[in-house]
Structure 1
Amino acid sequence: MFCYQCEQAAKGEGCTKIGVCGKQPEVADLQDLTAYVLRGLSLVALEGRKTGNVISEADQYTVALLFSTLTNVNFDPEYFVNAIRQIVRYRDELRAMIENTGRDLQLPEGPATFEPAADSAGLIRQAQGKGLKNYPTNDPDIASLMHTVLFGLKGVAAYTDHAQILGVKDEEHYKNFHEALAAGWDGKERGLQEWVGLALKVGELNLKAMELLDKANTGAYGNPVPTQVPLGHRKNKAILISGHDLRDLHMLLEQTKGKGIDIYTHGEMLPTHGYPELKKFDHFYGNWGTAWQNQQKEFPTFPGAILMTTNCLQRAQQSYEHNLFTTGLVGWPSVTHIEADSTGYKDFSPVINRALELPGFTEDEDRGHVMVGFGHDAVLGVADKIIDAVKSGAIKHFFLVGGCDGAKPGRNYYTEFVEKAPKDTVILTLACGKYRFYDKDLGTIGGLPRLIDIGQCNDSYSAIQIAVALSKAFNVGVNELPLSMILSWYEQKAVAILLTLLALGIKNIRLGPSLPAFITPNVLNFLVQNYDIKPISTPDQDLEAILGKKAA
């Protein structure tokens, strides 16, 4: 086992005995083998496109399976054993289709020719030589960029999968995804600059994936609108839903109508309260708990059933394991999993029945509220007010403070940064990093809230659209706007988003709480020289450097 794809890699170097996330060595190895075998499927899929042979299910399976190897998604070794065999079946079926056209398919020895062992133990042995330390290069900087490309693709896969679940797909996007995943195993020699270019290409891919997902979410559930979300609870039975998937939430809301159960969001599901088609359900009540890394402290006290829909799962404690359910790609061996049928429908009866068995909340509690629903449609709807406030000097600067939250020390920086930001500045935020300050009352400027929650991590697309619109309004480049990005990262979706920002030429990004272990000094130096990317320091020092004056 060697894994350093997340910010909490052991000793800042990599996990070698067991994942900090709870991932067992055999699961880590099987995930490496999954990625390796997926490269073989991508190689054949690219050849298939040359002869007009495409298996759409294989394209979708590729992104879903790569997503399942992202941090805190699936911890079940048997899941990956079965997945590897399915990948090979798709690969061989596609190969046969190509060869039936009379084409002699010649591919390099490796993932395209891999034959899986007959049993799980054999697969685990085969996985030993397929990890991050076994890449086809002796250059540490190229290896660093190859790993960056893979980790970025895992983030792209997550957003692409969310979109395809809602029926939004793009053939060219799948082709480009296969090309990036096959790179390094396709027999083509690439130098350092070519790998830099490919990493930026992954950023472009991620922008497309977020565009597809934005279209999917808003097409199905409407454009988010500013919405107050209670942080307390009311007397009733309860289900807590965490993760990111809006379709799962919608199905759960439909199936719990009239059953005397309130639905609460957790973690990255908080922004879903702003979607009009989800707001229609009067039992869609509020948000309970905070960010993903606190679930082992918070879930034992939730008096209902809990449903995890995507990544951000931690090992369930015995005190609540029997109340926890997983669905979609997320999974833990001992936790009940809800499967979808052939149409994508899921029967959440086990979750509902467990919620009815449990006591639920026995009294009301008012803990205030937070505002969500400031997607690009809502913010651009008041763009004239924002522009006027900037021109009048009422708003001096915008800070995008967001990203992943995590348990590692150093993340209080983001709380302090927001608290110390001058009152003539606006804080844009997104993803679970906002839980460091989401419930703080920062007041208003000209009737606009100083704290604007744009949404989930994929709603970085909204942030980009807002920045582009403002740059056009002021007739300046995005880098000339009074806008600074203060980002926190934890897993691979954050890597994909960072690559997107770099691909768009956005500079002066501050990143923390620590820099990725997979970035070598030479690659970091390239990022500093070309994009002025820098690690966070202290809130006071960074505010002074950005604003040219000391924080209040």
Structure 2
Amino acid sequence: MGEMFCFQCEQAVGGKACTKVGACGKPPEVSAAQDELTAALTSLAKTAEGKTPDSSRDGLVMRGLFATVTNVNFDNQDVKGLVEEVRRETRRLGGDTGFKVASLWQGDPDTVSLRSTLLFGLRGMAAYAWHARVLGYTDAEVTGWLYKGLREVGREHSVAEWLELLMEFGRINLKCMELLDAANTGTFGHPVPTQISTAVEPGPFIVMSGHDLLDLKELLDQTAGKGISVYTHGEMLPAHGYPGLKKYPHLKGNFGTAWQNQQQEFAGAPGAFIFNTNCLMPPKASYSDRVFTSAVVAYPGLRHLPETDGRIDYGPAIQKALALGGYPARQEFTGINGGKTLTTGFGREAVMGVAGAVIEAVKSGAVKHFLLVGGCDGAKPGRNYYTELVQKSPADTVILTLACGKYRFNDLDLGTVGGLPRLLDIGQCNDAYSAIRIALALAEAFKCGVNELPLSLVLSWYEQKAVCILLTLLALGIKNIRLGPTLPAFISPNVLGVLVEQFGLKPIDSAETDLKAILG
């Protein structure tokens, strides 16, 4: 087994880097191929500068960056195929394909840190841009910045220049999240508060995990009338809130908890499982015959669903679900805290629809603080902090949440305050855009800045989409964010010092200590 170097996710070995095999299960040869792909994309971006824009090339850049996000593509041959596609396009444009990625991870520690932060942010933004693109929504500035960012990653800059690039990127990523929000809500309507069961009904079923709402719609279309129930998993949970998806009667509920528990929760389950984004863990042999990948996701030995005219054919998964037959009787499952129902759909339109009640609850003193507890979940110890933080928050606190970190507490019954549910699930990680809009609306209502609101952000991170969201929050000037369960391995001590000094970024402590500091 060869050597590798990867420190892009929260589970980097020893808090430093994975050098033998990825904590995610990524083997060294795939890591090397992904580094090759990054180098090839950098060369293509340099070559494409000044050239006539090309939609097909744009899609290739987005797909290439997306494929390097943690837990997306574990298939060496698939990644190498992408490398060759990118190099062919570079040669077609008359460019040089000789850029070596090793130079990205070498040199002054602070430069490597800043360069890596921009690169990882680009990977996250590319995933969001891809999801918007498949719904027919693109933005020339967002797409152009993917090229610009890749070019800048391959250049040298002073620390001040790197920091300015990161802030510029954060502002562009806000535009990208706005684009994806427009794509999702324009296609499926604005989410509405919706309660979801964690039980599984008898009969054949398919579980879809990931972020891509169009993929779920097409699965629902292709399974209609076939006696197959469809369940969401992980980051697909918020799909239940969209009117254009909740109208399907065979979209039944949510299967399991967060992505990192799938190896236990899928074992023995007589259904088919589909992964369309970065939620896949190496499947165990006991259930690998019923796991399918789609879109940018790939894993050696798993069946990748075929595409026709750019859209996915779910036939193989449908046939597998029918053959397995599902459970003979209703199965009662729960969240990690024993709850049997989950609620989602509190996007910005739903929350702003009751803005008057929210404002009145704050003015009357019924609500004293808002806690945004959101981000990625993961397997590393220390994430029970987020459960404790929510459980121990006082009854006059409203909890806003998004992304899969919410599975640590989203089955808790926290009751209501001022006539509002205390726990408001805003949606997927990309729905940080909704959270930002809610915060800005509150600031406007109270005639103050966001940093002056009774609002505190306590974030969990795991992968690169969390990186691009954090950079957006910093670019907006939002301060005193608490981040955990550990700080990124790619943030050098000096860069951390700058982030602490300029933005008040803080590592999490204990739930009790942080609540005391937050609530005074």
TM-score (norm: length of structure 1): 0.91
89, 104, 107: which one pairs with 1:135?
104
Q: Check whether the contact 1:54–1:94 (CA below 8 A) recurs between aligned residues.
A: no
Aligned residue in 2 for 1:28 = 31
Partner of 2:93, secondary structure, is helix
Map 1:63-78 → 2, pairs under 5 A: 63-78=62-77
1:451-496 CA-partner distances (Å, limit 9, x unpaired)? 0000000000000000011100101000000000000000000011
Give the Å deviation of 1:365: 3.9
416, 423, 441: which one pairs with 2:413?
441
2:471 is the alignment partner of 1:499:
yes
145, 163, 166: which one pairs with 2:135?
166
CA distance in 2, matches of 1:331, 1:201: 32
CA distance in 1, matches of 2:159, 2:226: 59
Give the AA of the match of 2:35: D
213, 238, 257: which one pairs with 2:224?
257
**Structure 1 segments unaligned to the other structure (5+ residues):** 96-111, 116-125
317, 322, 332: which one pairs with 1:356?
322
Aligned residue in 2 for 1:516 = 488
Give the Å deviation of 1:56: 1.5
95, 120, 126: which one pairs with 1:157?
126
2:447 is the alignment partner of 1:475:
yes
Aligned residue in 2 for 1:148 = 117
**Structure 2 segments unaligned to the other structure (5+ residues):** 334-339
Q: Check whether the contact 2:345–2:425 (CA below 8 A) recurs between aligned residues.
A: yes
Give the Å deviation of 1:137: 6.5
1:290-330 CA-partner distances (Å, limit 9, x unpaired)? 11101111111322111111111111110001000000000
Tell which structure's C-alpha radius of gyration is larger.
1
1:157-216 CA-partner distances (Å, limit 9, x unpaired)? 110111101110011221122111111435xx4210000111122211211111111011
Aligned residues: 511
CA distance in 1, matches of 2:184, 2:55: 21
Give the Å deviation of 1:85: 1.0
2:502 is the alignment partner of 1:536:
no
Give the AA of the match of 2:115: M
Q: Check whether the contact 2:119–2:153 (CA below 8 A) recurs between aligned residues.
A: no
Q: Check whether the contact 2:91–2:97 (CA below 8 A) recurs between aligned residues.
A: no
Give the Å deviation of 1:64: 1.3
CA distance in 2, matches of 1:148, 1:136: 11
CA distance in 2, matches of 1:544, 1:184: 41
Partner of 1:355, secondary structure, is helix
Give the AA of the match of 2:397: T
2:280 is the alignment partner of 1:313:
yes
Give the AA of the match of 1:266: H
207, 210, 215: which one pairs with 1:240?
207
**Percent identity of the aligned residues?**
55
Aligned residue in 1 for 2:337 = none
CA distance in 1, matches of 2:315, 2:143: 35
Give the Å deviation of 1:366: 4.9
Map 1:58-97 → 2, pairs under 5 A: 58-95=57-94
CA distance in 1, matches of 2:327, 2:385: 34
CA distance in 2, matches of 1:282, 1:166: 23
Q: Check whether the contact 1:228–1:371 (CA below 8 A) recurs between aligned residues.
A: yes
1:367-419 CA-partner distances (Å, limit 9, x unpaired)? 53111100111111111110000011000000000100000000000000000
Runs of at least 4 residues off by over 4 Å: none
CA distance in 1, matches of 2:306, 2:442: 44
287, 293, 299: which one pairs with 1:326?
293
Give the AA of the match of 1:259: K
336, 349, 366: which one pairs with 1:394?
366
CA distance in 2, matches of 1:365, 1:389: 40
Q: Check whether the contact 1:303–1:361 (CA below 8 A) recurs between aligned residues.
A: yes
Give the AA of the match of 2:489: A
Give the Å deviation of 1:535: 0.4
1:264-292 CA-partner distances (Å, limit 9, x unpaired)? 11100111000001011100000010111
TM-score (norm: length of structure 2): 0.96
Partner of 1:47, secondary structure, is coil
CA distance in 2, matches of 1:80, 1:21: 16
2:243 is the alignment partner of 1:271:
no
Aligned residue in 2 for 1:299 = 266
